[in-house]
Structure 1
Amino acid sequence: MVRSCFHCICIHIVAIEIWLNGNRLSEMTLSNYFFRNVSDRLHSEHDRNLPALSNPQINSEVIAADRLIFNFSIQQNFSQEELQSLQTWNLLDHLVSHAEGLPNAVEAVKEAGSASKDLMASLEEERLLSSINGSVHQKPKEKQCPYSIRKMNSSEFADNGYKLRIPCGLIQGSSITIIGTPSGLLGNFRIDLVGSPLPGEPDPPIILHYNVRLHGDKVTEDPVIVQNTWTLAHDWGDEERCPSDTDSNKKVDELERCSRVVGADKQTYASSKQINGSKHSPPSTVGPKLRRYFPFKQGYLTVATLRVGSEGIQMTVDGKHITSFAFRESLEPWLVNAIRIAGDIKLMSILVSGLPTSEDLEHVIDLETLKSVPLPIHKKLDLFVGVFSTANNFKRRMAVRRTWMQYDAVRTGTVAVRFFVGLHKNQIVNEELWNEARTYGDIQLVPFVDYYSLITWKTIAICIYGTEVVSAKYVMKTDDDAFVRVDEVIASLQRVNITRGLLYGLINFDSKPHRNTDSKWYISPEEWPDETYPPWAHGPGYVISWDIAKSVYKQHKKGFLKMFKLEDVAMGIWIAEMKRKGLDIKYEKDERVMLKVVSRAMLLHIIRGLGRCYACGRNSRKQNVRLVVEIDEGFETVSSLEQFGICI
């Protein structure tokens, strides 16, 4: 992000996962339907011919995926609100043909096609019931995403294992607490976080395999915890053992992958005892007894909690941190749809909490103030803000709507904010997201399942919306876990007064690719052979001028953009190529973008201490505030700007 004069911004990230439509194949495509009803100009510019590919097999995959996504049945009559959520979707019909360098791209589009087909069938059923009953049919709450699931009756748990369904996946902050006693002959047991099976595959992927072996295995005779993942395509991955033979200080979410206490030698001392209680009997002294600490013990009750972090999954046992396991590519927490527990453990209860859930519209008292301002096609804007979100991050989106989307500039329509969300593989999530999209009017669905490795496509989508759907002088990208001072962003851009060739944000001019294969941001020499990256702005919040956004869209249509899985670096790569071709690029760096993840308490301190007013109705001196703040937790509980001490 940039360092110039962004005056008082903070961005707070809300997460969303959104999806889109689809049903039976027919001759009329959804894309054609939209363009015919909304914009003839967009329709005339939209070239539907897929470019020829050199590899016939890839060409076949591309055409199949393209048809699966875009040849939806349009027998339903979409409302204007529903059509608006598809505006970007309809300009992204060539994604798969330009997907080289992005893992799981073709699969993600195919999965979105399957998900959208199921969604359209559900919507058709809803409309049918609505026409019969004469009112909009609402699904009962028990069929929606729950916040928590409790299984407290031990009689429900079978001796040969137990499987608990997770309706809408997991998100950061979700936790699974298992109370039970390792028992049986060996006391070995395992906990699997299982995903949804892929179309045509008999067995679902395992996002986390947590295997407790109290009597060791072929590698060791000592107790050990083995963590791993499994997919049909790649079989078992590289297992991680705790304790491990290799001394490693690697961490996930700032926590040790294997706590040093596991397997460490501990000495326990027994005090001197007198036999039979006689004062004249010689004392029997038991010397120090050497043992090794292991969190699970056969015959002893255990409280074990798996918690989802931003980088991976942590396990605590009886209040002590034990292990951390980093997410692996395409195996993300939102995919989890069941917990499977098997082996020698006598379960007493299971508690799953912090699950993604949307607000019941009947109980949203401020509903009208949270709805976005309708935007006519090509409306001129000072700033368009695109927010990355995933489908089941309902609460983060609501927090954004109630806080920085309430700035006057947003409410009056000079600034527009839209969430960009991919489809979910779970139908319940997709149904709730569709309902959210047509209720609030601020969601743009994109035609792929929302894997982290594909977020670069969302960057393209934001550029498309900011130039083809609306006409924004500046286009900003941020995340749903950031807080944005919209008023100060506008003021800063006015002070910078650069309307062409601008990249504004916290810019890194000399960063190098991560070559450590254990890094979340690992980049192989094949993906990027150079020693350094071109200048790029950090992802929590950066701004580009209209001409750069327009060029991104044009180059994407022609298939000239280099696809790179780190979206903020990708933007830097694209801009460097524009500069090489003669565009005058101006890099404006602002170090007030805060990358460090902070708690809500720290956020309140930053904003209230450095904001434009400490309490509404009172003035305080302006200072050099942070422009963008990433937030670890607590943002979802904030219900207004006033709670941040910000007056609007």
Structure 2
Amino acid sequence: MRRPPAAAAGASSCRRRAVQGFVALAFLAYALLVLSLGSRGAAHASLPGGKGSASSRPLHLDGDGERGAPARPSKRAHRETLEAAPGIVSGLDLRRLNSSRSGSLRKVAAEAAAAGARVFSELQALAGTLSASSDEEERSKCPHSIVLTGDEFRARGRAVELPCGLTLGSYITVAATPNAAHPERDPKITLLKEGDEPIMVSQFMMELQGLKTVDGEDPPRILHFNPRLRGDWSGKPVIEQNTCYRMQWGTPLRCEGWMSRADEETVDGMAKCEKWIQDEGSKESMTSWWLNRLIGRTKKVSVDWPYPFVEDRLFVLTLTAGLEGYHVNVDGRHVTSFPYRIGFVLEDATGLSLNGNLDVQSVFAGTLPTTHPSFAPQKHLEMLPVWQAPPLPDGPVEIFVGILSAGNHFAERMAVRKTWMSAAQKSSNVVARFFVALNGRKEVNMELKKEAEFFGDIVIVPFMDSYDLVVLKTVAICEYGVRISARYIMKCDDDTFVRLESVMAEVKRIPSSKSLYIGNMNYRHYPLRNGKWAVTYEEWPEEDYPTYANGPGYVISSDIADSIVSEFTNHKLRLFKMEDVSMGMWVERFNKTRPVEYVHSVKFCQFGCIDDYYTAHYQSPRQMLCLWDKLQAGRPRCCNMR
């Protein structure tokens, strides 16, 4: 029997409503299921050591697995600046420096952090607006010759800028007059007892200098030429030559009046030291002369003209850049030649200074290079994908290496990337990053930001760089290591060459359940209270330092780093301007609550390099490449001394 039309329409409407209701319920159930799974996954991901950490990225370095890495914190940026430049800015909150616990560094650190925040904000705003200078502009900064009168030279602070350095055949001619000797009481030159007459001193220093790195650190001295007319401890006129890199002097070359030995190497066929005539009338032998000096019987030694510098007498000195070294002629006569030392090239010599007891009449520099020197970032940085850092691993890593660097150390960072860091980047268990503060020059910061964004291996700690605040970078290294769940954290410098496998082998000697502090330890060292590196009682009231490892390379366990970051966050961390001493102080404090295994090894070399090293310090970019070549050949041997 057929339904009436009205009834059929009502039934059809009911069926449609029923179907729509079922579809709505099904959609709602599906949405609830998705939300449930998502929340469950989020809760799982927040658990310490959950899946997606160690299980998804196994450790390749040997380990017993007894000690788990700390929980990997959220990758969400917890600073406003991180949102502007994700991945290249340190997560360390420098606003926490405003604490009395920060000690004597509190004020200067807070000011540097505030200035750094302003500079970084400006850097973000200027992104892409600064363009590199054209070749013509760069060439205009590099004249072929420079001429200065004495007054012009003094007006420039007794220094001459050589924008493009030197090249083969470049020369510098100085006309000057040594001043008469004056009484000297400086304890750095002589120690006088009460009632002693001051010694008479006449000396001057001519230096070829490189670029300054950070505030508080002296620029490298590529050539230090120091005639001492009245002598020094020897009591005879002498010329001393040397180099100084990262405030560490090399082995001096002293010319004391005797001709270089016949079997000694020459420089472009010239002797390192020429002879100047002593008093020919004296029949005293050299042995007797030294014996009399030792027992206190001094005798005035007269020197004839051949010693090239005489008080109150004009001289004309010419310094020439040869193939194998620098040559010094005075009044047309060759006096000395100084061989180039590994780590410095001619174009690194971007400044000339003349200081001491000297009245300069004129300075002339000729045959100078007119093209821009290779310290320009674009000539040091090889913008190739092969040198880019891989993404951070999803799980914990065995060791994190934090490398202290300065903004304008483009060459140093590139050398590290191309040598030992390249091996570290290939391991899924190792992460290495440079930690850099902001430079006073805007163009350096612009290039630094570009470098950081391309290579992905730079962490900018946004404060204005200075020598006394390096400790902030060390805290930032600890924060980063804890944040990526590293089991061990190593700190080194950008002029440190690291044999990472050997370092890890040393670390593995200690049971993983123990807290450790490994490096070249210093025991019962005392702060200097006088001189250039003086430490005031306000800065360090104690009479001695805690046991600490030298700064160029040391390793701590992650629990120590976590304690350091926690105390910094809670305004309890004491800061000291010497970062390695600071670390020793923090470890000592941690050691009071949990025993720390201190491990000393001289193979974490502080001054240069020793064979079979773990770390080699003060290595120039060229020495880095040399060490890498030797290590690849299976020979962990040092390259030539600087």
Alignment TM-score, normalising by the size of structure 1: 0.57
1:411 matches 2:426 = yes
Q: Contact 1:535–1:572 at 8 Å: present in 2 too? A: yes
SS at 1:375 equivalent: coil
Work out which of the residue numbers 119, 126, 150 in structure 2 matches 1:122: 126
**What is the distance in 2 between the residues matched to 1:142 and 1:587?**
57
Distance 1:176 1:247, change over 3 A: farther
CA contact (8 A) 2:525 2:545 kept: yes
What secondary structure, in the 3-state scheme, does the structure 2 residue paired with 1:84 have? coil
After superposition, give the CA deviation of every residue in 1:296-353 in whole Å (9 maximum; x if it has no partner). 89664323599xxxxxxx998877599xxxxxxxxxxxxx997688952142438599
Q: 3-state SS of the aligned residue for 1:537? A: strand
TM-fit CA distance, 1:216:
6.3
Shift of 1:433: 1.3
Shift of 1:114: 5.7
Q: Using the alignment, how far apart are the partners of 2:475 and 2:605 within structure 1?
A: 24
Aligned pair in 2 of structure 1 residues 340, 256: CA closer, same or farther (>3 Å)?
closer
* Secondary structure, counterpart of 2:576 in structure 1: coil
> Would you say 1:523 and 2:535 are equivalent positions?
yes
Matched, 1:460 2:481: no
| Alpha carbons 1:115, 1:426 under 8 Å: kept | no
What is the alpha-carbon distance in structure 2 between the residues aligned to residue 175 and residue 428 of structure 1?
Answer: 29
Q: Quote the Cα distance in structure 1 between the aligned partners of 2:565 and 2:337.
A: 47
The one of 329, 347, 358 equivalent to 2:377 is 358
- Asked if 1 retains the 8 angstrom alpha-carbon contact of 2:142 and 2:163, the reply is no
**1:543 maps to 2:555:** yes
2:614 maps to amino acid = L
Residue 304 of structure 1 contacts residue 317 of structure 1 at CA under 8 Å; is this kept in 2? yes
SS at match of 1:596: coil
The separation in 2 between residues aligned to 1:553 and 1:244, in whole angstroms, is 55
- Whether contact under 8 Å (1:506, 1:537) holds in the other structure is yes
- 1:345 corresponds, among 356, 362, 382, to 362
Q: What's the CA shift for 1:588?
A: 2.6
Match of 1:16 in 2: none
- Distance verdict in 2 for CA 1:593–1:222, change over 3 Å: closer
Look up the equivalent residue of 1:253 and give its one-letter code: W
| Identity, % of aligned positions | 25
Corresponding position: 1:589 with 2:600: yes
- 1:50 is aligned to none
For each residue in 1:129-173, what CA deviation from the matched residue of structure 2 results, as whole angstroms up to 9, or x when unmatched? xxxxxxxx66546778x9x9854335x6467526665779x9xx9
The offset of 1:113, in angstroms, is 4.8
Q: Report the secondary structure of 1:594's partner residue.
A: coil
Q: Deviations over 1:274-294 (max 9, x none)?
A: xxxxxxxxxxxxxx9745946
- Larger radius of gyration between Structure 1 and Structure 2: 2
Distance in structure 2 (CA, Å) of the matches to 1:536 and 1:247:
34
The structure-2 alpha-carbon separation of the partners of 1:351 and 1:493, relative to structure 1 and needing over 3 Å to count, comes to same
2:46 paired residue number: none
| Structure 2 counterpart of 1:434 | 449
**What pairs up with 1:196-207 in 2 under 5 angstroms?**
none
Shift of 1:382: 1.0
Distance (whole Å) between structure 2 residues aligned to residue 630 and residue 340 of structure 1: 27
1:86 aligns with 2:101: no
What amino acid is aligned across from residue 86 of structure 2 in structure 1? L
- When structure 1 is superposed on structure 2, of 101-110 and 430-439 the one drifting more is 101-110
Give the Cα–Cα distance (whole angstroms) in 2 for the partners of residues 244 and 257 of structure 1.
18
Q: Where does residue 556 of structure 1 map in the other structure?
A: 568
Structure 2 Cα separation of the partners of residues 505 and 399 of structure 1: 23
- In structure 1, C-alpha distance between the alignment counterparts of 2:327 and 2:486, rounded to whole Å: 46
How far off is 1:125 after superposition? 1.6
Question: How do 1:300-319 and structure 2 match up within 5 A?
Answer: 300-304=315-319
**Cα offset for 1:218?**
9.8
Aligned partner of 2:591: which letter?
A: K
Q: Which residue of 2 aligns with 1:192?
A: none
Contact 1:161 1:340 in 2 (8 A): no
Q: Show the 5 A alignment for 1:25-424.
A: 43=78, 82-88=85-91, 91-95=93-97, 97=99, 99-102=102-105, 104-106=108-110, 108-109=112-113, 111-113=115-117, 115-116=119-120, 119-126=123-130, 140=134, 151-153=143-145, 157=148, 160-161=151-152, 179-182=172-175, 187=176, 213-214=178-179, 224-225=203-204, 253-254=249-250, 267=278, 290=304, 293=307, 295=309, 300-304=315-319, 320=336, 344-349=361-366, 356-360=375-379, 364=382, 367-375=384-392, 379-407=395-423, 409-424=424-439
| 1:436 partner SS | helix
| Structure 1: runs of 5+ lacking an equivalent | 1-6, 9-37, 47-69, 127-136, 189-212, 229-239, 271-287, 307-313, 323-335, 607-624
Using the TM superposition, give the Cα deviation of residue 543 of structure 1 relative to its aligned residue in structure 2, in angstroms. 1.0
Call closer, same or farther: CA 1:295–1:266 in 2, change over 3 Å: same
Structure 1: how far apart are the matches of 2:327 and 2:574?
39
Give the letter aligned to residue 585 of structure 1.
V
Q: What is the RMSD of the two structures over their aligned residues, measured on CA atoms?
A: 5.1
Structure 1 residues 498 and 151, CA gap change in structure 2 (3 angstroms) = same
Q: Which runs of 5+ in 2 are unaligned?
A: 1-60, 63-72, 185-198, 208-225, 243-247, 258-272, 282-301, 339-348, 636-642
- Is the Cα contact below 8 Å between 1:474 and 1:544 reproduced in 2? yes
Instruction: State the TM-score, normalizing by the size of structure 2.
Output: 0.58
Please give the alpha-carbon distance, in whole angstroms, between the structure 2 residues aligned to 1:392 and 1:152. 25
Matched, 1:502 2:527: no
Residues 499/423 of structure 1: CA separation in 2 closer, same or farther (3 Å cut): farther
On the 8 A contact 2:548/2:581 being kept in 1, the answer is yes
Bigger shift: residues 351-360 or 522-531? 351-360
Counterparts of 2:122 and 2:129, CA distance in 1:
11
